[in-house]
């Protein structure tokens, strides 16, 4: 079971901190989630040969300079994994994300690699889902982070179902139990399965402690922004 740490900010919004922590997650196998990426302090996903998707709060204070693809063990990457440099001048935060450190539907950012990503069996992009999620729909979260034994940089995952958002209208939400991302999974992909293929529907943003919900940036609601910055 994953846990989500919630920190309330002055406006009553949960603060989403870009630190990587995952508790009680199931460890992935290499290539199981070939679109998963690690920024060192946040998770992310591959969208195309140049584009990486993460959370706005992961880049609003400091810009990541590299990204790791294809690894399960981020601190001791397996054969076949590869690290790419990121352009610090081409990191674009969703225009609706205006308060750094808060969470919500627009907590989304686009990063660009400085060279084209070479796709392999363990490094592949994920497809964006083009319709809204529905309450009760099965979802999976994947991300890197420190576990209950304080080990970090391991790709883990958990499943849950979509819930009606109680406070953060327009976001994708789920109950914090039985499984939920911890706040350091920030930027990691939330996805569904369509005909056996993963489709990304959200980006880990943070949590609403008052209502016991994990909150995700809404991919469907941000399709124009994301697609406009791909390629």
Number of helices (H), then strands (E), belonging to the chain: the values are 1, 17
CA distance linking residue 25 with residue 154, whole number of Å: 10
Fold held by 7-228:
Thrombin, subunit H (2.40.10)
How far, in whole angstroms, is CA 155 from its chain's centroid?
12
Peptide bond into 154 cis (omega under 30): no
CA distance linking residue 181 with residue 192, whole number of Å: 15
Task: Tell me the three-class secondary structure of 117-151, residue by residue.
Answer: CCCCCCCCCCEECCCCCCCCCEEEEEECCECCCCC
pLDDT tens for the 231 residues of the chain, in order: 343 333 333 223 344 433 334 455 789 999 999 999 999 989 999 999 999 999 999 999 999 999 999 999 998 999 999 999 999 999 999 999 999 999 999 999 999 999 999 999 999 999 999 999 999 999 999 998 666 566 668 999 989 999 999 999 999 999 987 777 775 689 999 999 999 999 999 999 998 989 999 999 999 999 999 999 999
- In residues, how long is the chain? 231
Backbone angles phi, psi at 61, to 5 degrees: -100, -40
- Domain ranges in the chain? 7-228
Instruction: Report whether 186 contacts 55 (CB < 8 A).
Output: yes
Are β-strands 197-208 and 127-128 bridged in parallel, bridged antiparallel, or unpaired? parallel
């Amino acid at each position: 079971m994953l846990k989500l740490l919630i920190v309330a900010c002055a406006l009553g919004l949960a603060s989403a901190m870009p630190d990587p922590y995952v508790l009680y997650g199931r460890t992935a196998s290499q290539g199981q989630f070939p679109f998963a990426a690690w920024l060192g302090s946040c998770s992310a996903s591959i969208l195309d040969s140049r584009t990486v998707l993460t959370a706005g709060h992961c880049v609003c204070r400091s810009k990541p300079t590299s990204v790791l693809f294809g690894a399960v063990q981020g601190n001791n990457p397996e054969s076949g994994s590869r690290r790419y440099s990121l352009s610090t001048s081409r990191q674009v935060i969703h225009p609706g994300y205006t308060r750094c450190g808060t969470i919500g539907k627009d907590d989304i950012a686009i990063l660009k690699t400085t060279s084209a990503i070479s796709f392999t069996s363990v490094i592949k992009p994920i497809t964006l889902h083009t319709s809204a999620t529905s309450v009760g729909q099965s979802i999976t979260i994947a991300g890197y982070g420190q576990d209950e034994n304080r080990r970090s940089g391991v790709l883990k995952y958990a499943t849950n179902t979509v819930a009606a958002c109680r406070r953060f209208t327009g976001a994708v939400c789920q109950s914090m139990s039985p499984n939920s991302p911890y706040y350091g999974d920030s930027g990691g992909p939330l996805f569904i399965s369509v005909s056996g293929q993963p489709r990304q529907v959200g980006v880990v943003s943070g949590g609403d402690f008052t209502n016991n919900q994990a909150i995700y940036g809404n991919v469907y609601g941000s399709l124009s922004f994301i697609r406009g910055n791909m390629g």
